[in-house]
Structure formats: structure tokens, C-alpha cells
Amino acid sequence: MKIIKNYKELKKLVNEHNDLILPNENVRIEFEPTEEEIRNIECNNLSLEDDDQNFNFNGWNFNGRNFNGGNFNGWNFNGWDFNGRNFNGRNFNGGNFNGGDFNGWSFNGWDFNGRNFNGRNFNGGDFNGRNFNGGNFNGRNFNGGDFNGRNFNGRNFNGGKISYYAFFICHGNCEYTEIEGRRKNSFHKCLDGEFIKKEDDTVEITV
């Protein structure tokens, strides 16, 4: 593992564009570089932490495997798993998101295990979080709070209020509290399951 303790050590490793290119190494940076000090990082696993705290990513793009640190305040994540706090970037192209809030553009990965999704499109696996505030959901199971998006195409939905634009399609069951379409001729349907309305301690089932 390459351990970088301060900017003086970092400066010796970056190129003329302030990019850190170590494609076959695991990297641990034990301080928080600024956007001017480091731009793009390419490595195997990246850890932004020391023995006492996690640090934020403040550069452009991460190209590698796993991210372990604080917040991602950059552009694109192209890797495997995100193990941090909040994602404040553009696109997530990876595996699992294990963090807090996703505040970005598109999620193209596996599972989302976090808090709120505030982005554009979700193209992944399972959503395990709080509220979805975005565009289109193309995934598997939704386990969370309210859905405030454009269109939904998934397996099962277990949440609260649903507000969609044109269509809301579940292949299995949909458990909800309220549902509404925002355009004329919008429709929602469970293909192989049923709608189950949550209301206090009872449920109302419709097909």
C-alpha cells in the first residue's frame, strides 16, 4: 500500500496535471487534499483517512475499486463500492453505495444502502434508503420512504407516498400510503402482484 501523509509527499507522486495515477496500488491518503492539489485519482482501493478520522474527496474523478473515506465532492465515481458519507458529484458507476445522501446525476450500480437519493436516474439493484427525489427508477426492490420521481419500473415497492409522472410499474407487489400520477392518462399497475394500501394498522388490497 502507498501511504501519503502530507502534501509534500503527494507532490512527488502526481503528474504535471496534478493527477495521481497508480493503477496497480492501494492508496491511503492521511490528510485532505484540495481540488488544486489533486485532480483525478486512478488506483486500486482508495482510503482517505488516518487513525482518527475520515477525509473528503475534493478532486474530479475517481477511477478504481473501493472508496473509503468521508464525502465525495467531485465529478464521477468509476469503481466498485462506495463506503463513505455523502456523494456530492455527478455520475456513480460502480457497485454498492454504502453511505448517506446521494446528491448527483445518475446512479448506475448495484445496491443503494443510504439515506436520500437526490439525483436523476437510478439504474441499479435494490434501493434501501429514505426518500427518492429524482428521475427514472429502473431497479429491483424499493424499501424506503416517499417516491418523488418521474417513472418507476421495478419489482416490489415498499414505501410511503408515491408521486410519478407517466407510469409506475411493479412486477410484484406495491405497498404504499398514497399514489398519484402527475399527467393526463398516467397509469400505475402491478403486473404479477397487487397494490396494498397502508392505512394505520390495516391494509387495503387492490389488483
Question: According to the model, what pLDDT value does residue 199 have?
Answer: 80
| Closest residue by Cα to residue 41 from 96, 78, 88, 87 | 78
pLDDT tens, position by position, 118-142: 999 999 999 999 999 999 999 999 9
6 and 52 co-located in one domain? yes
Same domain, 172 and 193: yes
CA 33, CA 197: separation in Å to the nearest integer?
49
Instruction: Give residue-wise pLDDT tens across range 13-23.
Output: 999 999 999 99
Considering the domain architecture, whether residues 171 and 149 belong to the same structural domain is answered as yes
Does residue 93 sit in the same domain as residue 50? yes
Residue after which a domain boundary falls, among 115, 147, 173: 115
> Quick check: 92 and 78 in contact, CB under 8 A?
no
Q: Are 169 and 195 in contact (CB under 8 A)?
A: no
**Whether residue 37 is found in the same domain as residue 57:** yes
Q: Looking at the structure, do residues 107 and 134 belong to the same domain, yes or no? A: no
- DSSP label of 54: B
Q: Which domain holds residue 9?
A: 1-115
Which of helix, strand or coil describes residue 196?
Answer: strand
pLDDT digits (tens, 9 = 90+) for 35-63: 999 999 999 999 999 999 999 999 999 99
- What residues contact residue 191 under an 8 Å CB cut-off, 6+ apart? 169, 170, 171
One domain, residues 30 and 111: yes
Average pLDDT rounded to a whole number, residues 102-111? 94
Report how far residue 7's alpha carbon sits from residue 195's, in angstroms, rounded to the nearest whole number: 57
For residues 165 and 121, what is the distance between their CA atoms, to the nearest angstrom?
A: 14
Distance between CA atoms of 5 and 55, rounded to whole angstroms?
12
Quick one: how far is CA 37 from the chain centroid?
26
Please tell me whether residues 12 and 70 are part of one structural domain. yes
Which set of grid coordinates corresponds to residue 197? 394500501
Residue 99: how many CB atoms within 10 A of its CB?
22
Tell me whether residue 187 is in a domain: yes
Give yes or no for a contact between 53 and 26, defined as CB atoms under 8 angstroms apart. Answer: no
- Say yes or no: 104 and 9 in one domain: yes
| Residue 139 resides in a domain | yes
> What is the 8-class DSSP label of residue 93?
E
Inter-residue long-range contacts of 108-113, CB under 8 Å, 24+ positions, other chains counted: none
